[in-house]
A and B are shown apart, each in its own frame.
Chain A
Amino acid sequence: MTNERNLIMSFASNEDVATGYEKFVEYYNAFKSNKSSVGVGDNEISMEDAHKKMNAFFSSEVERVARREMKDYKSNLMQYFQFTDVREAAFAVVSILTDLIVPNAILKDVAPIAEFTNVGWGDTAKVLVKPRDIFVPSKIGHGRRMGVIHQQFAGEVTIPTYLREVTVGVPFYDVLLGRYTLAEYMVKAATGLEAQIRYDVWDAFETAVGALDSSGTAKLVYTGYTQDDFVNLAETIGAWNQSRAVVLGTKTACSKVLPASTNYRIDLDTSSYVKNGSLRDFMGTEVIQMEQIADYATEFSVKLDNTKLYFVSPAQQKIIHVAMEGNTLGTVKDNKEAANLIATGTMMKSWGVAAATAALAGVITIS
């Protein structure tokens, strides 16, 4: 993620506040990674302490944004939380945190193929794509001052963003019964936005790579795994990207990467293969297992294709660019504002995804 600091500063010019948000992201990442502590060295604190600190930070941020302090209402906290400005402030802070956390969370999974950029409201992200060709010299006579003039041109890909929203609702009676809370639903709404961005990234990636040539000398799309095709494609991608290629695939896909001769498998580090589910390095090319993700569009289906092995150079320009426009917007309507007493919460987020790169990629479909 780029511009993380700028994003924070646009919401808060106060250094302590900005640091607080950064700590929150650190806490969230540690929490998602099932760590028992946050920070390193002298700054390391237990997850329990971090949890308390983050709750305190959240409360203080709500107080700061709402300009209304909780201690003034300590005899009746219910009244404090009923204030419209407090509720608005709470969701504003949640929106800021969502802006920080969502791209970070996604980036952990899609870093080899995608890059995130924040743009302001109304801006269109533009990715400059420079030619990968070099200038080729030719023979020339001794009596000439210069040869023909070579030139090349850059192009660009623009990424328009589209606003998405999720509205969730909880009937007043369910709130009274303690069955559901709007907060619980809103967390799922944020998770849904995160999942959709992830889907968009993989869809764009699969479409872009799948559309490459599947025949001829420019062949980058292969059907059927063979050891020779694997090595050849890894070499081609690495050579043209001038950066080592790695292979990405699901555990199922990666497990199919094996030497052509079954005799060679005697020499495999068998226990490691069984333990990891695949060879981590094959013929000098790193094989990376991608975590499978649920595809909520269809029950029990998964998003990542178990038959695809993707060849990319992570150190080169990323294949997919995600433009996040503005900030996450949230609106909340109380039960009593609706004729049918349904409390609603809406999250809105604007983003765009496009394949924009000078780097090459390839794919082998395991038949």
Chain B
Amino acid sequence: MAYGVVQLLSVAAKDVDAYNKTFIGAADIENGSVFTLGDAVSGQEDEYAVVQPATANLADQHYMAASVNRLVTTINGQKYYNLAQDPRAFINVTGEPIDGIALKLGDEVRLSSDALAGTYVSSGSVTTHVVATDSAYKLTWATAAISGLSLKHVRTSYISIGDAIGSQRVTAYDFIVDAVV
């Protein structure tokens, strides 16, 4: 099992402080997943609750989990920094701060296939987009954009992760945000 990996190729959040927020999740959230802004966390000026995508908020401003988190939690709840290098070992664990960036029109991101729900279809009923989906943190492959957060698939790519003796290229997909309200 591998968790999703995200690379921010070119995003507005790189240059705008206000597009970067800190979130606290009520569930474990993989990098590359999306959510909307919830209530401010009591006693914390810079932390907001994560709200899972739902039919009612698909057209709201979405944020993408893009942590460089190095915190690994064992099954009994013990937490270790820098235990493992491979980003596929990380998930943003419940209750820990998550770096979230506001997705803006034109943003380019690269997501590993593990970060997405569904399967990419390249011929026939081609999946041209990944979209925000009710009751799911992960973006889901779709054959068209929706009235809400939609990212257009622009190329199939790879993310280089030092791994074993053979291929070190993890299948990934490049997207441009082309519909967000």
Contact = CB atoms under 8 A, between A and B. Distances in A.
Contacts of A157: 164
Contact of B162 (A150, A155, A213): A155
B9, B166, B169, most chain A CB atoms within 10 A: B166
B10 A153 contact: no
B159 interface: yes
B8 interface: yes
Interface stretch (A54-62, A66-74, A84-92, A351-359): A351-359
Contacts of B169: 133
Contact of A156 (B5, B7, B84): B84
B161 interface: yes
12 contacts: A129-B164, A150-B7, A153-B5, A153-B85, A154-B85, A155-B85, A156-B85, A157-B164, A208-B164, A218-B167, A220-B166, A360-B165
A213 B168 contact: no
B135 interface: no
B28 interface: no
A361 interface: yes
B103 to A, nearest CB: 16
A148 interface: yes
A128 B162 contact: yes
A212 B165 contact: yes
A330 B14 CA distance: 60
Interface string A331-367: 0000000000000000000000001111111000000
Contacts of A211: 166
B17 interface: no
A208 B162 CA distance: 15
Interface in B140-162: 159-162
Interface in B81-124: 84-87, 108
Contact of B166 (A151, A152, A212): A212
B10 A149 contact: yes
Nearest to A134: B160
A153 B159 contact: yes
A5 interface: no
Contacts of B168: 131-133, 155, 358
A128 B161 CA distance: 11
Interface residues of B, number: 22
A103 B160 CA distance: 34
Interface in B1-18: 5, 7-10, 14
A164 interface: no
A132 B169 CA distance: 10
B163 interface: yes
Contact of A359 (B84, B160, B165, B167): B165
B86, B159, B163, most chain A CB atoms within 10 A: B163
Contact of A149 (B7, B163, B164, B167): B7
A199 B161 CA distance: 30
Interface in B163-181: 163-169
A148 B9 contact: yes
B32 to A, nearest CB: 14
Contact of A155 (B8, B161, B166, B167): B161
A157 B5 CA distance: 19
| Chain A to chain B: the 6 pairs with minimum beta-carbon distance, closest first | A148-B9, A129-B162, A152-B160, A131-B160, A133-B160, A155-B86
